[in-house]
Amino acid sequence: MSTPAGVGDVSPAERAREQKGWFFADWAVSAFQTTVSGVLFAPYLIEIAKAAAVDNRIDVLGLSIAPGALPSYVITFSTLLSALIYPLVGAIADRTSRKPDLMAGFAWAGALCAALLFFMTGDNWWFGSIMFIIANLCAGAAVVVSDSILPLISTEEERDRVSSIGWAYGYAGGGLLLAVNFLLVTFADPLGLGTALAVRISMLSAGLWWAGFIIIPWRRIRRHQPADVEDVSGGVVARSFGQLFVTLRELPQYPVALTFLLAYLFFNDGIQTVISSASIYGVEELGFETGTMLGIYLLVQFVAVGGAIFFGRLAKSFGAKRVILGGLVGWMVIVVAAYFVPEQTLVPLLVVAVGIGLVMGGTQALARSYFSLFIPAGKEAEYFSLYHAMDRGTSWLGTLVFGLVYQLTDSYRPAILALIAFFVLGGALLALVNTAKGIEQAGNRTPQRV
């Protein structure tokens, strides 16, 4: 298979067209990540589980689980499955020019399962859990493929900007749908729907949004021929496993990339756990209504649009690594502040929400573009599959710790405070990453500012 021309050989106009289409991949999937995963699913699942509980416990494969801890365990199980699936997805994607088709296929499968959450009623928490697990797995697989397209449509100098704008699109798109769902849930009773039906309709809308908008990047992104594919024999799955084994065997040759992945495992674990547990913390610990937390999450989404763009501009002046480290300090401050927010006190919660919005978009967007500098040509999807194995695959410790601390203390406050350890460890490891050496090891071109 021939090696494609470098991305720098493509005209700026053609790159810009693909980049604008690629932005809508984040716009599309964020509907599921915000309305469903971020806000509505966990509190609604708890209510469904409570309806099935006996003595405030439900039976999960022989284990006695508190309904309030169920979402954390569901997410943990989903992420463990991801660790097995995503690397194979990456190996398959790197062997084909049809990355946009793979991305859209995973998106449509996930969107279907997200839409089917509309039928999670009564006490059938099993159905809702299974649909969410599949949708979450598909979302991660679609993002693995989408992120692997970033190095194919942008030069090294463009990466931070393109990644940051993509994240901004994601927060704007997710926030726009969330605003509609916020109104629907808030005025559910006057509309004659009831809160439960309004929540189910909102989750259905997220699936439809995701399925519809993924058509834009699917149509606009060219089918780039794969580069430097390993010569391994067998069928599609066998060749993909062969490609994966070659990559894993060669990975120690890129120690800087490995160090970053380990750092990312810890600090992103903390980020993802804060995001996935925020609505539980607000509803169950602080005593706010689901509609209020929808409004809070909506605020975070729109602040994050500006935060992602702002961090991208800071990276242009100071380099992505320094800006990410600064963002991690911000996360530590936020976790401590969240611990002290009084019950039913809105203003301190709003301050914490603004802080989350500022650092959330920027740290995630720059982590994606920063890591792309350490990826050898032709290995984009495989390396991003490992990246997302840390993100949604092996990054399960945070949700597990959160659930266990709650189980032991019957309070979400110590559970949220425990997450500060992940930012400390992740930041310490990130400080050890030698950016220039990592770019050299991958054979990439060093941008002006690193």
């089917």: which residue's tokens? 116
**For residue 103, which of 44, 149, 63, 61 has the smallest C-alpha distance?**
149
Task: Say what the pLDDT of residue 6 is.
Answer: 55
pLDDT value of position 404: 87
Residue 232: the pLDDT is 47
Per CATH, domain 249-449 is 1.10.3720.10? no
Residue 388 burial (C-beta neighbours within 10 Å; 0-12, 13-18, 19+): buried
| pLDDT at residue number 340 | 93
| Separation in Å, CA 139 to CA 26, 188, 397, 414 | 11, 28, 20, 30
**To 10 degrees, the CA torsion angle through 181, 327, 270, 125?**
0
CATH architecture assigned to 13-225: Up-down Bundle (1.20)
pLDDT of residue 391: 65
Task: From first to last of the 450 residues of the chain, give the pLDDT tens digit.
Answer: 333 345 656 677 888 899 999 999 999 999 998 889 877 888 888 888 888 777 777 777 777 777 877 887 888 788 778 877 887 887 788 777 888 999 999 999 999 999 999 999 888 888 998 999 999 999 989 998 998 898 888 888 888 899 999 989 998 998 899 889 888 988 888 988 988 999 999 999 999 999 999 999 999 998 887 665 554 445 555 555 555 566 667 777 788 888 998 899 899 888 888 887 887 888 888 888 877 887 887 888 889 889 889 998 898 888 889 999 999 999 999 999 999 999 889 999 999 999 999 998 889 889 988 988 888 877 787 788 777 776 655 556 787 888 888 888 888 899 888 899 999 999 999 999 998 888 888 777 777 666
Residue 312 CB contacts under 8 Å (≥ 6 apart), including other chains: 160, 161, 163, 164, 165, 362, 365, 366
Q: What are phi and psi of 58, to 5 degrees?
A: -120, 155
Identical fold between 13-225 and 249-449: yes
C-alpha 143: how far from chain center: 8
Helices and strands: H and E segment counts in the chain: 18, 2
Q: Where are the domains of the chain?
A: 13-225, 249-449
In the numeric block, which tokens belong to residue 140? 């991660």
Alpha carbons 367 and 326: distance in angstroms, whole number:
12
What's the angle, vertex CA 390, arms to CA 72 and CA 20, rounded to 5? 105
